[in-house]
Structure 1
Amino acid sequence: MARGRRGRDGTGEAGEAAGEKRKRPPSPPAFSAEWFRDWGRTLFVALLIFLFFRTFLLATFVITSGSMEGTLLVGDFLLVNKTSLGAPIPFTNARIPGYAEPEYGDIIVFRADHSPGLDIVKRTVGLPGDTLRMEGGRLYRNGVAVDEPYVRRNPRQRDEGDARMQWQLPHLLPDPERGEYEPTRDNWGSLVVPPERYFMLGDNRDESLDSRFWGFVERGKMRGRPFFIYFSYDRDALKPVKFLTAMRPGRIGPSPD
């Protein structure tokens, strides 16, 4: 039978293990002052890590309207990458530089000027310096029709004007033959996008309140790009406890472009 090795003091492995146990400091009694201090430090560090991620790296966003329907559905829960476009530094007007700039077709979450405190998600269709117009619901950029396979339209829905669209007047290209400007949802422009501004549209064009109605989006108001759907459920389902019974597990995964 094999015997345990004996140490120099003759105690062997069992003696060494017992010595290690004796040297280990005892845990503080539950609910003692030291126990509360240890848990307080742990929770404080966890809170700092959470705030760092929420402030500079990631945000969450929930789709609550059908303006992006066809691409993003009501009830989709999104993770937003804040590092790509640069995260704002709290309590300042400065931003941490991002590694990318908005491009055509990018879906972006941004802070709305027309509704303070509200975050919105739309698709980028116009960059600074672009000339945009829409004819019969077809978007033209710099004189060329834009291919938009992601757009959803209802041909039976009537085109209508909206007084909110008069913001466009100062940004129109000069046209001596133009009479009174009467833009509609599907017919407007041509507009020139100013520096540091972007034109954003919803994919569900007939049901989207977007740049057509309330104007350009400032670069500094952009929060980030959605990149992952981490939960989804059908908010209109006629089921009890819809959050559990109307889940859409097939939606979970990378956010569609």
Structure 2
Amino acid sequence: MDTEAQHTERDRPSGREERSRSACSGPSAPAEARAAEGDGDGGTAEGRGAVLRGWRRPVLIAAAFAAVLLGVSHFLVQPFQIPSGSMRPTLQVGDRVLVDKLAYGGGTAPRRGDVVVFDGTGSFLREPPPENPLTDLLHGTAAALGLAEPPDTHFVKRVVGTGGDRVTCCDRGGRLKVNGAPVPEDYLFPGDDPSRVPFDIVVPEGSLWVMGDHRSQSRDSRDHLGDPGGGTVPVEKVIGRADWIGWPLGRWTALRPTDAFSGVPSAPVGGGHG
């Protein structure tokens, strides 16, 4: 005997009961079905609104985070991507250095041996390159976050001479001299000479003489001796001091101050060649 079949027949309502239930619930059933379908595929206005609300929160959080990073980069510490090998071995191509923008506030000036980032417009570059406002805005934002190479007007070099210093190259031992004292530049790229180009310069007050650590691969103050300013960079063009390598993680370290200039005497009064 098929008891399951009998049980099914007993549980089925009679025709009259079935019609009565349909009369009571019929008009709302299609609406409920449509609502259920709408809720399932997000096709209704309410469903689309819920999707938008779901995206709004992470987008706002990301925008707020980017705004905070840009604020920090503009006023405090800016990541700077190293675009060339002119500062090897101290800095490698692709390193992101953290530039302290407050390092020279309150009357503190750049010192010999500091690694600085500066705007070379008017010294290393006579005129800024042509600009595309939208492209420059996007690139500037990415560069400020350390996600792109810096603008073509920005450079990173080491300070060798400050205002009033006499910088010459080279002595009989092939060493750079500042105010008559030889400088043991242990930060130079192995095998590089301090300079293959002889020079003798007195740095104007309020300016800096800057050079790369990879001298044979660096276009620095030596290459701009004939330009306005004689290759020196105005102190007000300094963006900040590079204090840390922040990326890649394997190179995370502080840029330690060098003692190469510890034996250099103060600049002579008047900056004479003496």
Q: Distance in 1 between matches of 2:60 and 2:85?
A: 44
Q: Which residue of 1 aligns with 2:176?
A: 139
Q: Which residue of 1 aligns with 2:19?
A: none
Amino acid at match of 1:251: R
Query: Secondary structure at the residue paired with 2:246?
Result: strand
Contact 1:106 1:225 in 2 (8 A): yes
Q: Distance in 2 between matches of 1:55 and 1:201?
A: 26
Moved more, 97-106 or 59-68: 97-106
Tell me if 1:188 matches 2:199.
yes
Tell me if 1:62 matches 2:81.
yes
Q: Which residue of 2 aligns with 1:124?
A: 159
Tell me if 1:203 matches 2:228.
no
Q: Distance in 2 between matches of 1:47 and 1:73?
A: 27
Match of 2:186 among 149, 160, 183: 149
Query: Secondary structure at the residue paired with 2:185?
Result: coil
Amino acid at match of 2:216: D
TM-score by length of 1: 0.58
Structure number with bigger Rg:
2
Q: Which residue of 1 aligns with 2:246?
A: 230
Unpaired segments of 5 or more residues in structure 2? 1-48, 129-151, 225-230, 258-274
Percent identity reads: 35
Q: Which residue of 2 aligns with 1:237?
A: none
More helix by share: 2
Q: Which residue of 1 aligns with 2:251?
A: 251
Query: Secondary structure at the residue paired with 2:103?
Result: coil
Q: In the TM superposition, what is the alpha-carbon distance from 1:101 to its structure 2 partner?
A: 1.5
Query: Secondary structure at the residue paired with 2:169?
Result: strand
Q: In the TM superposition, what is the alpha-carbon distance from 1:207 to its structure 2 partner?
A: 1.5
Query: Secondary structure at the residue paired with 1:194?
Result: coil
Query: Secondary structure at the residue paired with 2:236?
Result: helix
Q: In the TM superposition, what is the alpha-carbon distance from 1:186 to its structure 2 partner?
A: 3.2
1:207-226 map, 5 Å: 207-214=217-224, 215-226=231-242
Q: Distance in 1 between matches of 2:93 and 2:211?
A: 17
Q: Distance in 1 between matches of 2:96 and 2:62?
A: 26
Amino acid at match of 1:230: G
Match of 1:50 among 50, 69, 89: 69
Query: Secondary structure at the residue paired with 1:51?
Result: helix
Q: In the TM superposition, what is the alpha-carbon distance from 1:81 to its structure 2 partner?
A: 1.1
Q: In the TM superposition, what is the alpha-carbon distance from 1:49 to its structure 2 partner?
A: 2.6
Q: Distance in 2 between matches of 1:76 and 1:40?
A: 29
* 1:70-122, Cα deviation, whole Å (9 max, x unpaired): 2111121111111112xxxxxxxxxxx45632111001111113333421111
Q: In the TM superposition, what is the alpha-carbon distance from 1:194 to its structure 2 partner?
A: 0.5
Q: Distance in 1 between matches of 2:72 and 2:154?
A: 18
Root-mean-square deviation (Å): 2.9
Query: Secondary structure at the residue paired with 1:100?
Result: coil
Q: Which residue of 1 aligns with 2:12?
A: none
Query: Secondary structure at the residue paired with 1:154?
Result: coil
Query: Secondary structure at the residue paired with 1:213?
Result: helix
Q: Which residue of 2 aligns with 1:84?
A: 103
How many pairs are equivalent?
A: 174
* 1:104-157, Cα deviation, whole Å (9 max, x unpaired): 1001111113333421111111010111110265211111111211122536x8
